[in-house]
Structure formats: structure tokens, C-alpha cells
Structure 1
Amino acid sequence: MLNLRAPARPLTWLLALVGTGMFLLLLAASWLMRDQIYQTFLDPGVPFQTYEPPPAPDYAQGESWAVRPMLAAMDEDEPAVFFVHPTLHTGGDHWNASLDRRSHRERLERFYLPNYAGPFAETGAVFAPRYRHAALYAYMNNREDSLQARLLAYEDVRAAFTQFLADAGDERPIILAGAGQGAGHVTGLLLDIVSRDEDLVARLVAAYIIEAPVAADLFDGPLQNIPLCGAPDAFRCVVTYSAVRADEAARIDAITERSSLWVDRGRLGQTPGLELACVNPLLWNTSEDYAPARLHRGGAAAEGLELGERPSPLASQTGAQCQNGLLFVDQPRSRTLQRPSRLAEARRVPPFNLFYADLEADVTRRAALLAETLAEERRWAPELPEAEEIGSVPVRPID
């Protein structure tokens, strides 16, 4: 008897192999395009012009702050630190985060305050506003909607800074610090407020702009009175760096080719074609010299610590070198200081601070130098006003 079904077996195997190959190709494509697919899911899906943002914070009220210390009982020479946190909200429902999101508060208090505000807490009293920060999605593209979301976040930060200055008073030294999105907003504050006010510049220990690109030509223009910190003994200056490894092609591309940054007062521009600024946090200068790991004071992966509770930094974990406006670092030996594998990691601030102890020592040193300078400046006699010519005055007899 003839077996009429036998020829179907090779065809079945062929179809199975083709199907398996197509599935593997689709899987590989999905892996390669994972950030783009993730970005699609994060799109709020509504134009910013018709978007109703969450209620604006009132910075006269304590609930609008993650940290707001009382300065009345503190020495008036102790610096006040204005710290702006990085992106916590990914997107998908809002362009900008609401202030009452529990998951955001938990991550801020568990990871980002201990790691990025912590290095400054030993030197000064830290203020950290909650703000309607722009979603991660708004930093994954340069759409007009995304830029508008960032500007809304900046307006909150600017309002918080105004309240911070009122709380700090007219004499106290100040420190500005931010990470990721927060660092970009600190650049805006330097441009719009600090650089325009001689008194604020005089009281500025330094501004720390961490993990956000800064246009180098700003320091020849609107920020020429607040230069880059070109030496360890400088103050009234700016420290900035964006750390990358040489093998992180996606992160390098995201920073240098696909980012927006302040290019002037009130104006955001694109990074392509711009020279970026970099201060090496191991050498504390702007040179392109390589700093070996033996100079590394220590990184920290702090978790759940209160401000003022110091973690145990891990020293000699990485070398560092400024090149083309980026800070190239070595892969740390400790896994706790290695970037996690997360979607859109190229746009995120890691949940550890690779230069925790380095920043801690640096801000302490610069604050002491400014304190000495201010004390000396206060001893100087004020300049006499220019002499005025007085014409003849008629003399009238007294009766």
C-alpha cells in the first residue's frame, strides 16, 4: 500500500525551522530595539499643550520639600546646600510627576538622597525640594513636548530656589548640587539667578553638576563670573562631569548626540557640535590627564541611610580621564559600583555614587577656603564714595 502522507514530514520540519528562525530574529530585533520599544510604552500619548499637569508645589509649605532644615539654631557661617534630585518618574501616564507619588518618595529617600545629597551633608545643611520633574521619556527624545515638560520642572526648581534663598538669609555661604535631571536644572539656576547677583556669587562655595552635560562656551559667556573649578583650591566655581566607560557606546551617543542642554539664559539647545565641560573628580582640574585608581577616595552604594549617616566608601575602584567633554572611567571592581542592567540605563543616574568620598572631601575643602576668604573680606574697610563737588552755600546769620 502506498504511503501518501510521507512527503508531508519534510515540509513540516521545514516550516518548523522557518518559524523558529523567524522567532529568533524577532527576539534578537526586540533585544536590539528594547530601549526604543520601552520608549514607546512610556509616551504619555497626549500633546503637552493639552496636558493638565499635577498641582504646583507651594514651597512655603514643608510638604513640598523632601528635606528642609531649620537654620535658626545653626551657625550663620555653616553653608546651606540646595540639592536637586534626578529623574524618578519614567512616564506612561504623565509628562511631569506629581509630588505625592509614594514610589518616587521611597526611591528618593532610599537611594538618591543618601548617595547624591549625602556627600554634602557633612559640610552644610541640605535642602531638597520635591518638584514636578519631567518623566524619563522626556529625556529619551528632543520632541517639543519633552522640552516643555523639562521647562515646567525647571520653573518648580526655580521657585524652590527662591524660597531656599529666603530661608538661608543674606550672609550664609551656599552650595548648589544636582544629579541627572536635577543637575541640568542647577545649570539653569546659575544662568538665570546666581550669575546675575554679585552677592550670590560671592557666597557660592561651588556648584556641582553631576551626570548632566554642560556647554563649555557658557563659561566664556553668561557664566564667565562662575568659571569651571580649574584647581583644588578654587571656589565660586563649577564642578561638572558625565561619567562613561569606553565600551558604553549607547551612553556616549545619548550624551553627545541626543541630549538637550542650556545654551544660554532661557534657551535649550542640542549637544551635537557643542564642546562639553568636564572637571575630573580625582584631579579637580579640567586637564585631559589620566588619574589612576590610587587617587580614588571612594564610591558608595548607600541605601536607606538618613542624611548625616555616612556609608563606607570603597576606595581605589576607578581611574578617570576627561576627554571630549566626557569623564571616562574604568569599570569598578566591586559589583555594587557597576551600572545595573535596566532599560534606558544610558539616560539614568545609577543608584550609587562612584565619587562619593571624593565629592565629600572636595566640598569640605572649598567651603573652608571660602570661609577664610569671606572672613578676610569682611575686615576690609568699605570703599569710600567718590568725592562730590559742593558749590558755594550762602551763610545766613542766626538770630
Structure 2
Amino acid sequence: MRRLALLAGLVLAVSPAAAQTLPPDYMLPGNWSPAASPLPAGASRSVKAPKVDVFYLHPTTFRSPDGQMNSDPADAKANQWVDESAVARQGSAFNGCCRVFAPRYRAASYNSFADPAMQKAAFALAYSDVERAFDHFLKHRSKGRPFIIAGHSQGAFHAATLLEKRIEGTPLQRRLVAAYIIGINLSEGDFGRRFKQVKPCETPSQTGCVVQWEAILAGSDLATAAKRAQSTFVSAYGDLPGKQTICSNPLTFDARKPAAPAAASLGAVPGEPGAGAMRPLVRGKVAARCEQGLLVVEVDPALDMKPLPGGSMHYHDVGLFWADVRANAARRAAVFRAGR
């Protein structure tokens, strides 16, 4: 299964084991994470009557000490960690323009990455919840409104699958404002093969398209990281042209402007993802450029954002650009609505 080997090293937290993993009933409000989290100081205000919705999928957050392969949406302590470490710090970036719906789902746990067969089964179970949540979202929540799909890491993996299997080439594609599929390995060659109609976003106002980036610290071994990122395409299609991953610079969201100085940064959320309230936004402390399909970032140490081994800034893919994502989602939503 694509991308799972890298995801194995990108778990946000340790959470207690859950007793069972029953399918969540999406008619119950408790099976949706709260999306109106307290915003960081300095955030732009949310619109009073949003006309666009967001279907947001959180990343891997669950590590079970008893070897459980999937999280349990009924585990209150695990849910609190998801809400504070992921939904608040990622999903909330979209509530400036839109209503955000974030389903609790039986996400694959860290333990599932130990064996390819377990990976496949755990991700299949997680995706089955995602599809049911999406069906509920369409029927009972969105009801014909324009929507954004967004996800990070494992959530991005499921969002990409949802885009491929349920949205592209269907009437739903006409309602798609954009897909923010962050922190996985979509390659240039996936478009035209895996995705026949939907294209990568080229401009900050384009709609119906896909944005993606994977942040890595400047000075890291880009060649090794790029080869690893390209391996999912190579394993699926061979060592062919198009293996380079797509990189949307969230400081510009413009393919003609692949690099931007720190002065362009609208605001990062400092610190490590975790429990508790977000710290105030800090502007002008992150420079970014697309290079070899990766988003190379220069981060002011004052932001207190630690890299993973190899310089990966995976945990901070959204936090580094929280206010930039917020502004861009609002821009695309406004353009989409104006064109209807």
C-alpha cells in the first residue's frame, strides 16, 4: 500500500489502548470532532454564515500498547488528543471561510505499520469509516453545498483515495472547491494516471484542483528524501518521468513563484503539536521554496518547532503555514462561489 512505510515514523502521540473498535454511527454528534476550537491569537475572524464546507481527516495519532491495529472512536482520552493535537491545529485553519466537519474514524495505529498485510487491513478499515462519514456528510450536512476536502498524513492518504474513488468523474467534482492533500507522496505522474481529470493547483485562486506539500528543513539531505518520496510512484508505475512529487508552496500557492521569503509568511502556530491551547500566531518567521518536489523551509528557532530524523517537518506541515492556509482556503472559496 502506498505511503505507509513513511507514515510508520510519523505518529503524533501515545494513546491508551481502546477496548473495542465498533463502526462509528455518524448520526451521533459525538462521532464528529469539534471544529470551532479556540483560535490562536492573531487569527482572522471566521465568516458569520459560511457557504462552503470542509471535510477534514486527521493524521495518525494512535499508538496502542496492546498492539491494537486501529483506534476506537469511543475512546474519550484518545479523542481528546486527536481534537487538541490535530483537529485544533489543522482543521481549524479552514474555519475562517467554511463549516468544518471532522469525522472520528478508526484510524490505523502505529502498530499496524509493523507488517504490510496489517497495514493494508488497518488502512482499509479506516477508509471504510471515511467513506461512510463522507456519505453522511453529503446527505445530512453539506446537502449540495460546495466543499473542500482536506487531510494530513494518514488523513491525506484517505482524502486522496476519496478523491480518486468517489469524487473525480462524478457530479461531486463540480462541487469541489479544492483538495488540500498534505504530507503524502502524490507525484506529477499520478495526474493523468491515478487522477484523470483533477489537476494540481497552479495559482492561488484556481478551484477544483489539488495542493500538496511535504516540509523539510533547509540543509537536509534532499536527494535521499526526494528518492524516498518518489518511491511510491516508482513502485506503482516504474522509474518513469513524472516520479517527482508535486510541491505547492503555501506561502504563494503559485507554481510560477516556487520560493518566498519569510516576510511572506502570514503566521505560524509555534511549538509542538500537543494538548492544550495553541500559542499566538507569529508572522514572518518561515521562508519556503519548492526543490526536488519537496518544500524546503527555513524556520526561525524562536518558533520552537522540532524536526523529525532527516530534517522532516512533517508534524508541522500545517502549523508552519496555518494563517496562509486559512487565507488561501477563503480565497478559493470566494472565487468558487463567485463563479457559480
Please indicate the TM-score interval, normalised by the length of the shorter structure. Answer: 0.7 to 0.9
What's the CA shift for 1:282?
1.2
Instruction: Tell me, in whole angstroms, the C-alpha distance in 2 between the residues paired with 1:318 and 1:177.
Output: 22
SS in 2 for 1:152: helix
Match of 2:206 among 217, 220, 234: 234
Tell me if structure 2 keeps the 8 A contact 1:195–1:225. Answer: yes
Does 1:359 pair with 2:325?
yes
Instruction: Tell me, in whole angstroms, the C-alpha distance in 2 between the residues paired with 1:260 and 1:55.
Output: 34
TM-score by structure 2 length?
Answer: 0.79
Instruction: Tell me, in whole angstroms, the C-alpha distance in 2 between the residues paired with 1:159 and 1:345.
Output: 36
Partner in structure 2 of residue 219 of structure 1: 191
Partner in structure 1 of residue 306 of structure 2: 339
Correspondences of 1:97-116 after superposition (within 5 Å): 97-116=71-90
What's the CA shift for 1:169?
4.3
Instruction: Tell me, in whole angstroms, the C-alpha distance in 2 between the residues paired with 1:362 and 1:207.
Output: 12
Percent sequence identity over aligned pairs = 27
TM-score by structure 1 length?
Answer: 0.68
Partner in structure 2 of residue 174 of structure 1: 147
Partner in structure 2 of residue 124 of structure 1: 98
Tell me if structure 1 keeps the 8 A contact 2:307–2:313. Answer: no
Letter of the structure 1 residue corresponding to residue 323 of structure 2: A
Deviations 1:176-226 (A, max 9, x none): 1111110111000100011031x3222111111112221322222342422
Letter of the structure 2 residue corresponding to residue 130 of structure 1: R
Does 1:257 pair with 2:228?
yes
Instruction: Tell me, in whole angstroms, the C-alpha distance in 2 between the residues paired with 1:91 and 1:254.
Output: 28
* Dislocated runs of 4+, deviation >4 Å: 251-256, 258-261, 268-273, 343-348
Instruction: Tell me, in whole angstroms, the C-alpha distance in 1 between the residues paired with 2:310 and 2:179.
Output: 27
For the structure 1 residues 258 and 173, does the alpha-carbon distance in structure 2 shift closer, same or farther, using more than 3 Å as the test?
Answer: closer
Partner in structure 2 of residue 327 of structure 1: 295
Instruction: Tell me, in whole angstroms, the C-alpha distance in 2 between the residues paired with 1:294 and 1:87.
Output: 32
Does 1:81 pair with 2:54?
yes
SS in 2 for 1:126: strand
Deviations 1:270-315 (A, max 9, x none): 998732111111121235732111111111148645xxxx963211
RMSD in angstroms over aligned alpha carbons? 3.5
For the structure 1 residues 340 and 327, does the alpha-carbon distance in structure 2 shift closer, same or farther, using more than 3 Å as the test?
Answer: closer
For the structure 1 residues 108 and 253, does the alpha-carbon distance in structure 2 shift closer, same or farther, using more than 3 Å as the test?
Answer: farther
Instruction: Tell me, in whole angstroms, the C-alpha distance in 2 between the residues paired with 1:112 and 1:89.
Output: 12
What's the CA shift for 1:171?
2.8
Tell me if structure 2 keeps the 8 A contact 1:119–1:356. Answer: yes
Match of 2:249 among 275, 280, 297: 280
For the structure 1 residues 259 and 298, does the alpha-carbon distance in structure 2 shift closer, same or farther, using more than 3 Å as the test?
Answer: same
SS in 2 for 1:334: helix
Instruction: Tell me, in whole angstroms, the C-alpha distance in 2 between the residues paired with 1:346 and 1:169.
Output: 35
Bigger RCO of structures 1 and 2 (CA < 8 A, at least 6 apart): 2
Partner in structure 2 of residue 204 of structure 1: 176
SS in 1 for 2:282: coil
Does 1:151 pair with 2:124?
yes
